[in-house]
Each structure stands twice: as structure tokens, then as C-alpha cells.
Amino acid sequence: MAVFSRAYRHLMGVILCLVGFSLVGCNVIQVATYDPSSFQLMQQIDRSIDKLYLSMSAKPQDHRNYSQFASQYLDIQVQIRSLVRLQMFRKNNSETLKQSQILENLWQSGRQEHQSKGTLSNVIIRLRQSQYQRMLSTLMKGESLKPHQGA
């Protein structure tokens, strides 16, 4: 009887370990569903930023004073803040919220840098265009991969 109980306990231990490992590997991660208004706002921000930097690069460097672009900077900042607030209210959306907040911080620091320097070089404009394009592409890609409601 002692042999049977020892084998039985060993078998039960193996079964419990297997069940435990299978439960650890089966975590369900909830993700927000696709939001068309968020995606459209991301596209709008992308276009606005692209327009700002294209209009800057079309001017000679000594005509790229911050004051000439201040209203565009402000309009884009309002759009980005709207995106952040929209993400705050979406359930299971922490990653997009974090990315939107990073975008907001990056935008504010870029705006402050232009304001303090007064002008931007072609190199900085290209760098910023590339930065924002990558960031917004990542945001839009992430949004588009979220499950669509009713799917």
C-alpha cells in the first residue's frame, strides 16, 4: 500500500506541475478594440506635422523663425493633447496612452527648442520629420492591429 501511495503522490505531483505550467502559459491579455476616431486623429496629426516641416524646409533657414510657425505648433499641440485625452478614457489601452504621452512630451520639447533657438536647420527638420513619422506610424499600426468590434 505504501508503494501505491508513493507512486500515486508522484503522479499527482507531475499532473499538478503540468496543469500549473499550462495555466501560466495561458494568460489572457485584454486589448482595447480598434477606434476609428483615434486612427483618424493620428492621421490628422501626422499630416499636420508633415505640413509644418515641409513648409519650414521650403523657406531659407533665416526665415524659419519660431514666431512664423507658432500657430501651427499650437494647433498640433492641441491635436496631440486631444489624442492623449481620448486614449485616457479607453479601457485596456495603456500602451497607446503611453505612446501618445511620449509623442506629447517630444512635441513640447521640440517646440521649446525651436522657440529658444529661433530657427531650425535642414538637418534638424529632416530628423524631426523622421522621428514623428516613425512614432505616428507606430501608433497607427498599433491601432489598426487592434481587434475590430464585431469581428
32-51 confidence digits (pLDDT tens): 899 999 999 999 999 999 99
Q: How much is the pLDDT for 30? A: 75
**Coil, strand or helix at 55:** helix
Of 48, 26, 46, 38, the closest CA to residue 145 belongs to 38
Q: How much is the pLDDT for 139? A: 97
96 vs 11: which has the higher pLDDT: 96
Q: How much is the pLDDT for 28? A: 59
Helix (H) or strand (E) holding 18: helix 2-24
Domain ranges of the chain: 36-145
111-126 confidence digits (pLDDT tens): 999 999 999 999 999 9
Q: What global pTM score does this model have?
A: 0.79
Q: What is the 3-state secondary structure (H, E, C) of 69-116?
A: HHHHHHHHHHHHHHHHHHHHCCCCCHHHHHHHHHHHHHHHHHHHHHHH
CATH of domain 36-145: 1.20.120
Any idea which of 26-30, 42-46, 82-86, 101-105 has the lowest mean pLDDT?
26-30
